[in-house]
Amino acid sequence: MNCRLIRIAVCGLALASLAGCASVGIKPWERDILARPEMALDANPIDTAFDEHIYFSKEAASGGRGFGGGGCGCN
Amino acid sequence: MQLTKRVPGELRLGLMAAACALLVQPAQSQEAVTLASDDEKPLQVDAGVLYYKESAGRIQSYDAIVTLRKDFGDEHILGLNGAYDSLSGGSPTGAVPTKAAQTFATPSGTSLKATNGAPVTYTTSSGRKVAQLETVTVYTVSTGALPLDTGFHDQRVAGDLSWSQPFEQNNHVALGGHLSHEQDFQSISGNASFSRDFNAKNTTLGLSGNAEFDKVSPVGGVPVFGSDYTQLLKGGDRNKQVTGGQLGLTQVLARNWITQLNLSYDSSSGYLTDPYKIVSVINTLGVATGYRYESRPESRSRRSIYLGNKVALGRTVLDISLRHGTDDWGSSNDTVDARYRIPLLGDDLYIEPHLRYYQQTAADFYSLFVSSAAAIPTYLSADPRLAAFSAKTVGFKVGMKLDQDNEVSVRIEAYKQDAKVHSSTLAGLSGLDLNPSLQSFICQLNWRFNY
């Protein structure tokens, strides 16, 4: 039951996000903060690659951010 | 429009021209932003080495990754990635600890019968002879100890190649490929993605697909699903295929906040069993009467939803993500991951604490052991990775900018995995920890430079 509620809430949030996208955003000259390298969505690809590899080999889940962790016989 | 009324004509024209000049510039999406420095230094190199060690004599590994990224101009980007892993140590076999010592053979020994009885030779369907030709190692696990195959060792070499570029206005396309080689596993995969920017590049919608083909060639051959461990019921190499897709939305929510929402689906088919894992057969007294090779379904589909956020709070940056996933093996999982980058001494030094919490429910066919009093189920596995457990990661990273083109960092983390069920009320197993916690330590060094 809890899982179902969480799923509905996440889907609702996702739909609300999509609907709100058209009016959400900033102007090009307001991108100074987002332009900082550490604000990139994957600012540390090496850390991400190591983490995906470790968690893929130790847990049942993988990926989500991208196609993470595959191509290994460790799981 | 009070502003226009108050500004003199010439100044107004100047401001309009400046605004137009800004608008003519391509609005910088996150990816484009990171490329600004690439234009100045075309080749960006990221190198990392990692040492991973589990406690209680379990796995340890040395890993290295080098990533090259070159922008040939106008966001035409070539990516190259090379990885090497060397693993050794003890891997849980799936058998539970018991109150009597237990004896096993390494996978190349194929079975106890081959080591304790008359030597047997068999030929896999790929024409590979095993048992007599390979070194047989028998090992004994002491009373109450978790059975580990301590002879485990492997090396992996992997490489990735990718290309991305703009495609007409506001679109991007990317193609990539991956190759991986291990002694007992080969993998090749390809991926393609398409993304489109909307809303003055504040919104990006992306669609990507992935196809992977694997060949599984276990040492000692592929055991027959669910067969008796003491029998030589093994076959030749097997294959596995994985196809997946992802729908992604990236949205700038505020001047200091960008978010990413991904919906993923993948479907695997073929040999999805771990050829080295076994399951204890336990009688009603809690005594092991034998072992079976594990058996998993030959198909699996997984779905996940991922929400990532990057939020700048002053000079600090919070990176927080949530993920929920399910699969048709009956397992579901949830992950919360948070990193908080705090600059020290200006922007040249920073520390980044990291916390991660993960939990999963067990696969339908997972059990600590199977009962000798009941029929052996079609699907069975005691692989701890399919059990219900929670896991925590705690660590930090310290990075330092040496100059404009060089940055080094070190990352130290601890990982702990606690199974939800790790005991039995059967007399012969009472008081034993049947699925002990996994604890590991991670130390990583990174070097990023522009060449």
- The verdict on A18 touching B (C-beta cutoff 8 Å) is yes
- The verdict on A72 touching B (C-beta cutoff 8 Å) is yes
Nearest to B60 by CA among B447, B359, B439: B439
pLDDT at B39: 56
Nearest to B407 by CA among A15, A38, A70: A38
- Residues in chain A with CB shorter than 8 Å from the CB of B212 are 70-71
Domains, chain B, ordered by start: 1-31 (no CATH), 41-90+155-270+299-361+384-450 (2.40.160.40)
- The verdict on A49 touching B (C-beta cutoff 8 Å) is yes
Nearest CA in chain A to B209: A67
pLDDT at B24: 36
Torsion of CA B327, B328, B332, B336, to 10 degrees: 10
**Is residue B354 within 8 Å of residue A40, measured between CB atoms?**
no
Positive/negative CA dihedral, B41, B170, B160, B393: positive
Say if the Cβ atoms of A49 and B47 lie within 8 Å: no
Say if the Cβ atoms of B325 and A64 lie within 8 Å: yes
Nearest to B354 by CA among B297, B304, B412: B412
Kindly give the confidence (pLDDT) of every residue in chain B, 451 residues in length, as a single tens digit, with 9 standing for 90 and above.
333 444 444 445 444 444 433 333 333 344 444 444 445 557 999 999 999 999 998 999 999 999 999 999 889 999 999 999 999 998 899 999 999 999 888 775 444 444 444 445 544 444 444 444 345 577 889 999 999 987 778 899 999 999 999 999 999 999 999 999 999 999 999 999 999 999 999 999 999 999 999 999 998 888 889 988 887 677 889 999 999 999 999 999 999 999 999 999 999 999 999 999 999 999 999 999 999 999 999 999 999 999 999 999 999 999 999 999 999 999 999 999 999 999 998 889 999 999 999 999 999 999 999 999 999 999 999 999 999 999 999 999 999 999 988 999 999 999 999 999 999 999 999 999 999 999 999 999 999 999 8
- The verdict on B241 touching A (C-beta cutoff 8 Å) is no
- The verdict on A53 touching B (C-beta cutoff 8 Å) is yes
Both tokens of residue B264?
């993923």
Say if the Cβ atoms of A60 and B386 lie within 8 Å: yes
- The verdict on B413 touching A (C-beta cutoff 8 Å) is no
pLDDT in tens, A4-51: 655 655 565 565 555 555 568 999 999 999 999 999 999 999 999 999
Average pLDDT score over chain B:
87
Residue with tokens 């990171």: B34
pLDDT at B108: 59
pLDDT at B13: 43
Interatomic CA distance for residues A23 and B199, integer angstroms = 8
Say if the Cβ atoms of B30 and A39 lie within 8 Å: yes
Pairing of β B129-130 and β B43-54: unpaired
pLDDT at B112: 41
- Beta partners for residue B105, in sequence order: B138
Say if the Cβ atoms of B187 and A71 lie within 8 Å: yes
pLDDT confidence tier of residue A2, bands split at 50, 70 and 90: low
- The verdict on A33 touching B (C-beta cutoff 8 Å) is yes
**Is residue B3 within 8 Å of residue B15, measured between CB atoms?**
no
pLDDT at B27: 37
Interatomic CA distance for residues B443 and B440, integer angstroms = 10
Question: Which of B35, B203, B397, B440 best probes binding to A when mutated, by most A CB atoms within 10 angstroms?
Answer: B203
Residue with tokens 């893929």: A56
- Residues in chain A with CB shorter than 8 Å from the CB of B181 are none
Distance from CA of A59 to the nearest CA of B (A): 5
pLDDT confidence tier of residue A1, bands split at 50, 70 and 90: very low
Say if the Cβ atoms of B264 and A64 lie within 8 Å: yes
Q: How many CB pairs under 8 A join A and B?
A: 209
- Residues in chain B with CB shorter than 8 Å from the CB of A17 are 249, 251, 259, 261
pLDDT in tens, B361-392: 999 999 999 999 999 999 999 999 999 999 99
* DSSP track, B62-102: EEEEEEEEEE-STT-EEEEEEEEEEEEEEEE-SPPP-SS-E
